[in-house]
A and B are shown apart, each in its own frame.
Chain A
Amino acid sequence: MTEETYSDALRRLEAIVAELERGGMDLEATLERFEEGSKLLERCQAELKEAEGRLENLRLPEAEAMIEEAKKE
């Protein structure tokens, strides 16, 4: 799976925040980090807000039948 997960994005964002807070970077790098951080932030927020929760309340035989069906595909 190449898709970056929320926690990966958050970890990277936290690293960027720490780096920016520490300071000592040149302006070009600061701007780059800032832009990368902004993108990560947007992605994290979207992940939280747009996630669509669904509930499947199955009994054991129904759940097993569902798996069997999926295996046939």
Chain B
Amino acid sequence: MDVNEPTPVGKFVQALRARLRSDDRNQHCLLKGEIRQWKPYPSGHTYFSLRDDGGQLSAVIWKGRCRIPDGIKDGQEVLVIGSVDLYPARGQLQIVVERIELIQTIGALEQQKQKLLLQLRQEGVLDRPRKSLPSFPKHLIIVTGKDSAALADMLQLSQSRWPGIRTTVVGVTVQGDRAAEEIVRGLAVARELSRDNIADALAVPPCDVVIVGRGGGSPEDLWAFNLEPVTRAISAMPVPVISAVGHESDILVSDLVADVRASTPSHAVECCIPLVDDHLAYLMDCEDRMLQGSLRQFNDARQALEQLKLRLQLAPSKGLSQAMRHLERLGSDLQQRTTSALQYHKQRLAVLGNALQISHPKRVLERGYMMGVDGDGNVISSVSNLSKGQTVSLQFADGEADANIDNIRQHEEVT
């Protein structure tokens, strides 16, 4: 720019604006100040001044650009994140707000939370006996953010643990001004579904466990779970409720009133949905122990009988030898009855064992793994069983494919 030529002011302002905006120090600044002349316009934009004793700055919130805290008004202290800009038409320096928060929000909310906790403690809500979770829930209700990642995680995990569980999701808003009300309404749906008559009318089993929660977030995002209506709805639920909010720091009131506190939504699923394969294995173990126990009883009885027989044989009395024959008959009778029962159950055990073994690899394959098999039909579990140029068969859940081995790389052993 030629210093001797006058610069048109508009051009100067534009250049000044460009310089301001190109300086990173003017972008996304964190500022603190008091609100003055808070003025929302019908256009949806909001204008105000941010000031303190040292100075002031005009500020604008473009329509829909950031969430505006409830009840914000003149005189309140706020934290603002925004970028400096120059409004050329008026040559006015302003801060374009990207985020605004009331400073006393957390402080005031924290006080409310402590007050609520005190009240709940006095009422005995915090110390009331907790309901225990059913070992096999018939109908799980999940109250959480609609279409949220937390929900997707929970459903996937639940499916892999026990596909037999019936689940109803009630998708609600989990943060912002409407969150508490919607969570309470979602819990009301769960309460209704736990009633026999409602469940009957819908031809579903009554709800017997509830998960309420969401993924992690800032303390403000999670605040609905510290509010009285939500905590009351949890404590009043006739069936067990798991509080499942993903967070690390402060404990939420919902965690303290719920029957079970889970650290994350996925953890909640682990708490209430059984691993069905474990249970089937446990049942097989029960069956085995039952067989062994019975068998031992019969063997003991047989031994006792043999001893009795021996003693009777030594005794001269005729009456006694009659009694002995009777006992012998009784013994062989019992032996016959139990042997056939044991035989039947042993066979069933073998069948069950096979079924479990067969079903397992298949389930693994269905998850996208594949199994390599050599020409003799042996499963290849190590690269050391492979040779270059060898043809192996890859078994998928729905078929198989042949593959040639080009390269073999063995991992170094970890000691």
- How many Å lie between the Cα of A48 and that of B297 in the bound state? 30
- How many Å lie between the Cα of A56 and that of B170 in the bound state? 9
In the complex, what's the smallest C-beta–C-beta distance from A27 to chain B, in angstroms? 5
- How many Å lie between the Cα of A69 and that of B287 in the bound state? 45
In the complex, what's the smallest C-beta–C-beta distance from A55 to chain B, in angstroms? 5
> Quick one: given A53-B167, A56-B168, A58-B171, are A35 and B185 in contact (CB under 8 Å)?
no
B167, A7: Cβ atoms closer than 8 Å: no
- How many Å lie between the Cα of A32 and that of B193 in the bound state? 40
B276 interface residue, CB < 8 Å from A?
yes
Closest to B208 in A: A5
B296 interface residue, CB < 8 Å from A?
yes
Which residues of A lie under 8 Å from residue B298 when comparing CB positions? 27, 30
Partner of A35, one of B168, B202, B293, B341: B341
- How many Å lie between the Cα of A29 and that of B168 in the bound state? 45
- How many Å lie between the Cα of A35 and that of B168 in the bound state? 38
Partner of B171, one of A1, A37, A54, A57: A57
A53, B294: Cβ atoms closer than 8 Å: no
B135, A7: Cβ atoms closer than 8 Å: yes
In the complex, the number of residue pairs spanning A and B with C-beta atoms less than 8 Å apart equals 136
Task: Label chain A's interface by main secondary structure.
Answer: helix
- How many Å lie between the Cα of A70 and that of B192 in the bound state? 10
> Quick one: given A27-B301, A41-B283, are A20 and B294 in contact (CB under 8 Å)?
yes
Size of the chain A interface, CB-CB below 8 angstroms: 49
Could you give, for residues 15-47 of chain A, a 1 whenever the CB lies within 8 Å of some chain B CB and a 0 otherwise? Answer: 011011111011100110111011001001101
A58, B290: Cβ atoms closer than 8 Å: no
Partner of A23, one of B136, B164, B296: B296
Partner of A20, one of B166, B279, B293: B293
> Quick one: given A60-B182, A66-B202, are A1 and B287 in contact (CB under 8 Å)?
no
A73, B201: Cβ atoms closer than 8 Å: yes
Task: Label chain B's interface by main secondary structure.
Answer: helix
Could you give, for residues 279-295 of chain B, a 1 whenever the CB lies within 8 Å of some chain A CB and a 0 otherwise? Answer: 11001001101101110
Query: By CB atoms of chain B within 10 A, which of A37, A45, A50, A63 has the most?
Result: A63
B162 interface residue, CB < 8 Å from A?
yes
Which residues of B lie under 8 Å from residue A69 when comparing CB positions? 201
B189, A60: Cβ atoms closer than 8 Å: yes
- How many Å lie between the Cα of A47 and that of B164 in the bound state? 9
B287, A41: Cβ atoms closer than 8 Å: yes
> Quick one: given A58-B168, A60-B171, are A25 and B297 in contact (CB under 8 Å)?
yes
> Quick one: given A27-B334, A60-B182, are A21 and B289 in contact (CB under 8 Å)?
yes
- How many Å lie between the Cα of A60 and that of B283 in the bound state? 39
Closest to B189 in A: A63
- How many Å lie between the Cα of A1 and that of B200 in the bound state? 12
- How many Å lie between the Cα of A69 and that of B352 in the bound state? 44
In the complex, what's the smallest C-beta–C-beta distance from A47 to chain B, in angstroms? 7
Which residues of A lie under 8 Å from residue B293 when comparing CB positions? 17, 19-23
B341, A34: Cβ atoms closer than 8 Å: yes
A60, B186: Cβ atoms closer than 8 Å: yes
Q: List 5 A-B contacts (CB under 8 A).
A: A5-B136, A21-B289, A38-B290, A45-B283, A70-B198
On A, residues with C-beta under 8 Å from B are 1, 5-7, 10, 13-14, 16-17, 19-23, 25-27, 30-31, 33-35, 37-38, 41, 44-45, 47-60, 63-64, 66-67, 69-71, 73
Pick the 8 closest A-B CB pairs, nearest first. A51-B164, A20-B293, A70-B201, A73-B201, A6-B136, A21-B293, A7-B135, A63-B189
On B, residues with C-beta under 8 Å from A are 134-136, 146, 155, 159, 162-172, 182, 185-186, 189, 192-193, 196, 198, 201-202, 276, 279-280, 283, 286-287, 289-290, 292-294, 296-298, 300-301, 334, 337-338, 341, 345, 352
